[in-house]
C-alpha cells in the first residue's frame, strides 16, 4: 500500500504557492493638554505588524485541495469559476457493507454456497488519492480520479480457497479447523468518472451533493486471511481467479462532507464458468466529496 502512495506522489507535479506577507499598520495619536486647555504636545506612534501566510497545494486549479497556515478564521465563500484542476487528494473515503448478487438474487446458488459469508462483517473500503477534472459552473463539475478499493468477505465455512485453478470454477479445500476469522479479499485500483452536482451553500456553509458515474477497477491482489487456534494467523496472496478488470456504476448523495454511496459491478466477480453471474454490490457511508 505504501509503495502505491509513494509512486503517486513521486509522479505528481508539486506546486507550492506562498501568499505575500501581510502588513498591518496601527497608528496611535497621543495629545497632551495643559490646565488652560491648550494643546502642548501631539505625538503619533506607528506600529507595523507583519504576518506571513502560507498555502501549500499539490496540483493546480480552484478545486485542488490545500493546507493553510495563518489564514483568517473566517473565510468568505465565493462561487468557484469554471476551469480545469488537478492534484493529489484524499477524498471519497468509503466504509460500507459488501454483498454478493448471484444471477440477480441475494441468495447464493448451490454451486456458490461454499462462499456463504457473514453479512455484517463483510465490508467495502476505499478512497481516492488523485483527481483531475473540469468545473463548468459553480454547481457542476466532471472529474476522473484514482484510488484504491478493497472488498472483504468474511466466510462462514471452514474452507481455504486455493490459488488460481482451472477456469471451470473456484477450487477450495474443506478444513478440519474451526476458523475464528476466514476472510476472502479482492484489492483493486479504482478509476471512477464522476458527474458532480452541488447546491448553493446554505447559512452553515454546506451544500447538498449528488454525484455518480461509471467506474472501472484493475486487480492488483487477492488474499485469504485466516485465524485459528491451530495455525494462528495466516495470509495467502494470489489472484484467486478474480476478474482482472471490473466495471460498473457508483452513486453518491450527501450533505456537507458526509454522504452515502452505492457501487454495483456489471461483470462477473470471477473469471470462472461456475461463478458466472456472481457479482458484487456495496453500499455504506462516505466522507469527502
> Which H or E run includes 78?
none
- Look up the pTM and report it: 0.77
- Each domain of the chain, given as residue ranges in start order, spans 13-74, 82-287
Q: Give, in order, the Cα–Cα distances in Å from 214 to each of 89, 107, 246, 252, 265.
A: 20, 26, 11, 12, 10
Q: What's the half-sphere exposure (Cβ side, CA atoms, 13 Å) at 11?
A: 7
Distance CA 17, CA 268 (A): 46
- Sequential pLDDT tens for the chain (289 residues): 444 444 444 444 343 444 445 455 666 666 666 666 666 556 666 665 555 554 445 766 666 665 545 555 444 444 566 899 999 999 999 999 999 999 999 999 999 999 999 999 999 999 999 999 999 999 999 999 999 999 999 999 999 999 987 889 999 999 999 999 999 999 999 999 999 999 999 999 999 999 999 999 999 999 999 999 999 999 999 999 999 999 999 999 999 999 999 999 999 999 999 999 999 999 999 999 9
* Cβ(212)–Cβ(251) below 8 Å: yes
Cα 73–chain centre separation: 27
| CB burial of residue 223 (10 Å; 0-12, 13-18, 19+) | middle
**CA–CA distance, 182 with 150 (Å, rounded to integer):** 16
Whose cell is 480552484? That residue is 62
Amino acid at each position: 500500500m505504501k509503495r502505491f502512495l509513494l509512486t503517486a506522489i513521486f509522479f505528481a507535479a508539486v506546486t507550492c504557492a506562498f501568499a505575500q506577507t501581510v502588513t498591518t499598520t496601527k497608528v496611535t495619536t497621543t495629545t497632551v493638554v495643559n490646565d488652560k486647555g491648550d494643546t502642548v504636545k501631539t505625538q503619533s506612534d506607528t506600529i507595523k505588524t507583519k504576518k506571513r501566510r502560507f498555502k501549500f497545494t499539490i496540483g493546480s486549479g480552484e478545486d485542488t485541495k490545500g493546507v493553510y497556515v495563518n489564514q483568517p478564521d473566517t473565510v468568505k465563500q465565493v462561487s468557484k469559476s469554471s476551469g480545469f484542476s488537478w492534484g493529489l487528494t484524499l477524498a471519497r473515503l468509503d466504509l460500507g457493507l459488501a454483498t454478493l448478487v448471484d444471477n440477480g438474487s441475494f441468495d447464493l446458488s448451490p454451486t456458490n454456497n461454499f462462499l456463504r459469508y457473514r453479512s455484517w462483517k463483510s465490508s467495502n473500503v476505499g478512497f481516492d488519492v488523485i483527481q483531475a477534472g473540469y468545473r463548468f459552473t459553480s454547481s457542476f463539475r466532471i472529474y476522473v480520479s484514482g484510488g484504491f478499493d478493497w472488498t472483504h468477505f468474511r466466510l462462514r465455512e471452514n474452507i481455504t480457497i486455493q490459488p488460481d485453478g482451472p477456469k471451470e470454477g473456484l477450487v477450495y479445500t474443506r478444513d478440519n479447523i474451526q476458523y475464528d476469522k476466514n476472510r476472502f479479499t479482492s484489492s483493486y485500483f479504482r478509476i471512477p468518472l464522476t458527474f458532480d452536482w452541488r447546491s448553493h451553500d446554505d447559512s452553515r456553509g454546506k451544500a447538498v451533493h449528488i454525484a455518480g458515474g461509471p467506474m472501472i477497477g484493475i486487480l492488483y491482489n487477492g488474499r485469504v486471511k485466516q485465524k485459528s487456534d491451530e495455525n494462528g494467523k495466516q495470509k495467502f496472496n494470489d489472484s484467486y481467479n478474480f476478474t482482472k478488470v471490473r466495471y460498473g456504476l457508483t452513486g453518491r448523495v450527501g450533505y456537507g462532507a458526509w454522504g452515502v454511496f452505492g457501487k454495483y459491478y456489471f461483470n462477473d466477480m470471477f473469471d470462472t464458468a461456475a461463478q458466472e453471474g456472481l457479482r458484487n454490490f456495496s453500499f455504506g457511508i462516505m466522507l469527502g466529496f
